Amino acid sequence: MNINNNMKIGIITAVCVIGLFVLSLLITQMPADGNNSARFGVLTLLPPLVAIALAFITKETILSLFIGIFIGEFMLCVTDLNIVNSIINAFLAIAHQIIACMSDPWNAGIILQCLLIGGVIQLITKMGGAKALADALAKRADTPRKAQLITWFLGLCVFFDDYANSLIVGPIMRPVMDKLKVSREKLAFVVDATAAPVAGIAIISTWIGLEISLIAAGFKTIGMDVSGFGIFLQTIPYRYYNILILIFIVISALTLYEFGPMKKAEQEARARKGLEPVKAFEAPGFDEVQPVEGIKLNVWNAIIPILTLIVGALIAFYWNGYSAILSGNDQALITLMKTSPLSFDGIFEALSASDTSVSLFQAALLASIVAMVMAVAQRIMTIEQAISEWIGGMKTIVITGVILLLAWSLGGVIGEVGTADYLVSVLKDTIPYWILPSLIFILGGLISFATGTAYGTMSILMPLAIPLAWAVSPDMGFVITCTSGVLTGAIFGDHCSPISDTTILSSMGTSCNHIDHVQTQIYYAGFVAIIAIIFGYIPAGFGIPWYISIPVATIMMFVGLKIIGEKVDFEKNVEEETA
């Protein structure tokens, strides 16, 4: 056995060394001048492709991300055929990349708010609030249909931020779904599909500031000074993927039809007997945490901290943006804040200017304090015990922080090697006017899938897509459709990518195996994306309005699901168990 293992290790090592040598040989023959996307060419796709392929093959997310980062850094460090020197420099560069990601204020704020929300969830669970809320929801959500629809509705309610959505809705609905034998994979899909797709089209969210600023800047490149918010509103009906994925959840929930790996996951969940444990996330999570013995379950022990988190986040968003505007140099905005701070325009401008990572951290800290005070005031825990449980909840999120850091580091390396610029340069020349909205959507999806970031994809594509659309057809409606293709394509790719932070957080929040979540979700996201292209963006290229395309696309989703799917019946399983 040891001989076989040693042979495997030796073979893997030899293959890796040969692969690095070949990669070094290819890179040393490339011209060193110019940008990296032109220098590396198709090799720019190597880091994300390796990371994604290994994630699917090995199901080891951390290892896959690390290897992807290493390959990217190795490519940047190659100057000659001295592999040992390049490996050492690449390893040192990885450390610098991870530290740079950790020291970024935005990233640090996201990790901290994730940790704090983990602490809040554990406190809520120990106080019995989570179980009480799950029991209350279970009275209404007494079938898989109702449970999925309630999860969908909760996702719509937490519209203001995709991260908050993943971390709030998942833990609330997980025990309900487990009781009704709905798979963790289906729960993770519903949570993920109501995160970025909802926040991306909400008129008050943590996304809108970036979106409208990119839109306004893009139109300036064609000499048009427009209202970024006004154009944003006009893109909403043409955000076909966002809209259709939300409709698809409802169709799937009502029909109980599933296909692909999700069908298998749902069949396995339905076949689970009695108290048989649910297959969960690899890392320790909230599943093992139980309420303190002997306490009276109270739904308000969950509702009050969660409402504190949500309302606190909205207030923090506003106050952070309000303060930023008053300390800035834009006199028009300063006047607006002083004269009409609570008008629609005032609230909108404040939310657009807010630092969302800081605001979410502040809200999570406030919710933590409220939860601890409630636990102590009701004599459920002492202050020492409450703090200990709070810290214990944060420990369950540590692995998520590690994955996020590696995902951000891979994104940084991908940016340095020029993956996105290469994809744009290769695909941008295919521009028949009617196919351009679809092409932009597909390109946005590819870049976002490969890089794991919707924000970065929007930032890259928007300055290119708007001038390109205007050059192909100087019609405002056509340009707006292409603009929506950028925003929606970025969200589609981000929704599918195993290295996307929202995908990772959805897995963690629902205690679902991350790669299982990705493998089951990608079939559904791809199905909806195909429908969005064929019945949404291609017709839009010919000028067909959204109010025709969306109903037709909805019908085709229903028909397609009926054709390729199969009903995973709940009632039959209940009858079999009670017989």
How remote is the C-alpha of 90 from its chain's centroid? 28
Residue 557: inside a domain, yes or no? no
Residue 215: inside a domain, yes or no? no
pLDDT at 181 over 60: yes
Residue 28: inside a domain, yes or no? yes
Residue 164: inside a domain, yes or no? no
**What's the domain range around 59?**
2-103
Residue 216: inside a domain, yes or no? no
Number of domains in the chain: 1
Listed in sequence order, the residues at least 6 apart from 29 whose beta carbon sits closer than 8 Å to its beta carbon are none
- 372 vs 180 pLDDT, higher one: 372
Distance CA 81, CA 71 (A): 15
Q: H-helix or E-strand containing 257?
A: strand 257-258
Give residue-wise pLDDT tens across range 400-435. Answer: 678 778 877 887 887 788 876 776 677 656 567 788
Across residues 529-538, what is the average pLDDT?
95
Residue 129: inside a domain, yes or no? no
pLDDT at 318 over 50: yes
Give residue-wise pLDDT tens across range 237-263. Answer: 999 999 999 999 999 999 999 999 999
CB distance 567 to 257 below 8 Å: yes
Residue 324 φ then ψ, to 5°: -65, -40
Across residues 447-457, what is the average pLDDT?
79
Distance CA 325, CA 354 (A): 9
- In this prediction, residue 283 carries a pLDDT of 45
Distance CA 335, CA 411 (A): 39
- In this prediction, residue 240 carries a pLDDT of 95
Residue 315, classified by CB atoms within 10 Å of its CB into exposed (0-12), middle (13-18) or buried (19+), is: middle
Residue 92: inside a domain, yes or no? yes
Residue 138: inside a domain, yes or no? no
Mean pLDDT in the chain? 82
Residue among 151, 249, 171, 189 nearest 510 (CA) = 171
CB distance 476 to 226 below 8 Å: no
Q: Residue 567 forms beta bridges with which residues?
A: 257
Q: What are the structure tokens assigned to 24, written together? A: 């070094």
Listed in sequence order, the residues at least 6 apart from 424 whose beta carbon sits closer than 8 Å to its beta carbon are 443, 447, 460, 461, 464
| pTM of the model as a whole | 0.70
Across residues 293-319, what is the average pLDDT?
83
Give residue-wise pLDDT tens across range 68-113. Answer: 888 888 888 888 778 888 888 888 999 888 898 888 887 787 778 7
